[in-house]
Amino acid sequence: MASTTDYINLTIYQDESFDETVTFESSYAIEDNKLIARIAKDYNNTAFTGDDEAGTLVAYVVNNVGSGYTDGTHDLTISGGGGSSGAATCVIASGKITSVNISNVGTGYTSQPTVALPGGAGSGSGASISLIAGEAGSLTLNAIASQVTSGDTYSMTLPASKTGALDDSFTGYWDIVAKDNVSGKITRHINGEVYLEKSITKQGAFS
């Protein structure tokens, strides 16, 4: 489980990139799970300004950074999920996945497609990437689950383009949910309220 309280509130700053890291207890192996973190206006996923676009690839989750892969930028192989035209790349450094970029969100996705590293990524092991299809009424956080000796971490981000799309009156909820890769057991590790700090001066004012 997460090493902090299981109820944590988040503050998002409008028009600024969001970045938050949750540390798990050393006894909990997040590499044995798939985790997803989402934000919604309410528990019924009522639509709000800034919704993800349904049917497109809106976020990535690196469930396991893996080890022993060939460094560089690699095109991911995407199949299934009911959609088409989705495209993404991953960056590997020191044999591990460090970031993912969705270069084409595609259309018509109704579920998570299958994602695989290409042959050019070498003969490493353990890597697992999920690409998340948008659902009306929720924002999915990009995330990387990293394995460290002092406790695994789950680093979540939202770009400024998505925080800037949130309506001034937005308040909501969020959670982190895990699915065990073997048993399929679902566990909600953290949930809490989401607060929006509104902005007047936009980032673009400095360009």
97 and 32 assigned to the same domain: no
What CATH number is given to the structural domain containing 95? 2.40.10
Total tally of structural domains belonging to the chain: 2
The answer, yes or no, to whether residue 203 has pLDDT greater than 80, is no
Q: Report the pLDDT value the prediction gives residue 87, as an integer from 0 to 100.
A: 97
Look at 50 and 102; give whichever has higher pLDDT: 102
Cα 94 to Cα 71, 121, 122: the distances in Å are 6, 12, 13
What CATH number is given to the structural domain containing 161? 2.60.40
80 and 115 assigned to the same domain: yes
pLDDT in tens, 119-170: 889 989 999 999 999 988 999 999 999 988 788 999 999 999 999 999 999 9
Question: Is residue 63 one of the residues assigned to a domain?
Answer: yes
Q: What's the pTM?
A: 0.89
Question: Is residue 94 one of the residues assigned to a domain?
Answer: yes
Question: Is residue 120 one of the residues assigned to a domain?
Answer: yes
The answer, yes or no, to whether residue 51 has pLDDT greater than 80, is yes
* Phi, psi for 36 (deg, rounded to 5): -135, 135
Q: Report the pLDDT value the prediction gives residue 5, as an integer from 0 to 100.
A: 58
Q: Which domain holds residue 80?
A: 53-133
